[in-house]
Amino acid sequence: MIDQATTRVVLIEQSDDHAVFAIPGTNYRLHLTTPKPLDDSPGDRVHGAIRCNVWKVDTVSPGGAYIEPVYGRPRRVQGRVVANDPSANTIVVEVCRCPILAVLPDRWRAADIPTGARVGLDIHEGAAFTPA
């Protein structure tokens, strides 16, 4: 599951507890918390996982994959489920070639969300990047 959630992003800037990452080939600039300052320099490609806690899940049929807002902390994500882990109640959502590991609240079960489903997720503050 973690392998499917590993992504490659570009480090733009960082401080002690957060960093700004670009998704290659897009205009996205994701502001994510980090467990500690990264050993990488701005402009370096970094491997790791983006993890977020979800407060709402919507099944969607039309529409593309996106992260809102384009600049800032992720608040809404829409994409295709590429993996699920019922024991951890998590799903991996592919958005713009960037997998995001989503921790679902108790009222939604990962087992009920099949791979290939298109979902929209409303995200709590505190989405994090953990280096691989």
Q: What is the mean pLDDT of residues 13-26?
A: 95
Q: Write the single-letter amino acid at 70.
A: V
Instruction: Give the pLDDT of residue 13.
Output: 97
3-class state of residue 40 by DSSP = coil
Closest by Cα among 120, 102, 6 to 64: 120
Pairing of strands 45-59, 6-14: antiparallel
Q: 49 with 61: CB under 8 angstroms?
A: no
Residue 11 predicted with pLDDT over 80: yes
Residue 77 predicted with pLDDT over 70: yes
Higher pLDDT, 64 or 92: 92
Q: What is the mean pLDDT of residues 13-22?
A: 94
Predicted TM-score of the model (pTM): 0.93
Task: Give dist(CA 50, CA 33) in Å, integer.
Answer: 10
Sequence ranges of the domains in the chain: 2-131
Residue 34 predicted with pLDDT over 70: yes
